[in-house]
Structure 1
Amino acid sequence: MGRLDGKVIVLSAAAQGIGRAAAIAFAKEGARVTATDINGEKLKELDGVKGIRTKVVDVTKKDQVEALAKEHDHVDVLFNVAGYLCLFDFNHIIYEYEHKEQSSFFFLNMCIQPQLCYNSKIPIPYSYRIFSTIGGVVNRCVYSTSKAAVIGLTKSIAADFLEQGIRCNCVCPGTVDTPSLRGRIQAQPDPEQAYKDIMARQKTGRMCTAEEVAHLCVYLASDESAYVTGNEHIIDGGWRL
């Protein structure tokens, strides 16, 4: 038997990177997965994977999220992977941001997370997962702040719904080698130097893989973590040490 046999899992940002790796890992362990993303073309690459159903959803659009909720009688695990890191935030400090840019970060990285769960009334009898980072990153002020807020949100949701049997945890990765990261590196004025700067802070000498993060997600989605809630689960290769 798979570790997730019979579980219904819905996740966002599943077209590539960590979301894609998690969707595949969940399905391999027997879950019935609804994988969503705004990138329909990339999302199609998951079509045909046993256990995965794909659907194009923009999680910033309330009507689309509500439509997704109506398709499910219940959800065992909701994994919110969607987030936002624009090129502007690759190398800036606090006073270089405009209010509009700060609002965009917080809206997508923090505010839409409860919207998926609450506003759309997705019935979740078991677990709720969100995706986050921990610690401060040099020249990444607003992004780091928005993700720190997700940790607070995780603990609040866990406390509010503990007695209802709903668990909430967040995953806090270090630098993960994803197409998104590679794209941001290539968009820098000096991609080679940008890559060197990133590698210089990797204490293990390499970046994390999306599959490594997915292994942790499988554990959190399984009954093996039944006594785990309200925690940030760090997978950063010792970056914070």
Structure 2
Amino acid sequence: MTCALILAAGRGERMRPLTDHTPKPLVEVRGRPLIEHHLDGLHRAGIERVVVNLGWLGERLRAHLGDGARYGLRIDYSVEGWPALETGGGIYRALPLLGTAPFIVINGDVYCDYPLRQLVERAQNLPPNDLAHLLLVPNPAHHPNGDFALDGARVRDAGMPRHTFSGISVLRPDLFEGCRDGAFPLAPLLRKAIRADRVGGELYTGLWSDVGTIERRDALNA
């Protein structure tokens, strides 16, 4: 059974003062909290179990989501406290809850209409040697230089054109082999795997937004 992790521990500095009292995943986008869009999409994709990591105002987020039953899901929580553990450290802390199979990861502060059922299929059919599958998107105005290139269905750390990592991916637990509990970023692990040709990917040109500022939130709502 494929599991999913929603990264929801961040502070949301660029959305202050809104996030001084509201966890960023509970900021409303298009009429409902941002994280609920992810939960509904995962449920429609056939996911039954979701892990949410908790950091800034984490107990408010837990109180809002509960056990996940009203979303048709089971939600478990990976508690980090504050300060949180960065993306890599947060995923590593959650690994015992995610099992041994490839799992889906979604940044809690993105909005995207990618059909997540396709990502479930990617997770269930990830090539044995691959450590990750990344969803890339066209570069937004605030990130014009992108992150990675694509060579067919393989992600490269060099080459043109470059695209932006969407914050949506499939990861294999083995990506974190040798890591230790604590705060660390995900990007160096991905780049190491990319250089070893162990990362696949695709470019999605549909609706995607990094809801990292109030202005971007307002643009989506408009």
What's the TM-score bracket when you normalise by the shorter of the two chains? 0.3 to 0.5
Q: Relative to total residues, which structure has the larger helix share, 1 or 2?
A: 1
TM-score, normalised by the number of residues in structure 1: 0.39
Structure index of larger Rg: 1
| Bigger relative CO (Cα 8 Å, ≥ 6 apart) | 2
TM-score, normalised by the number of residues in structure 2: 0.42
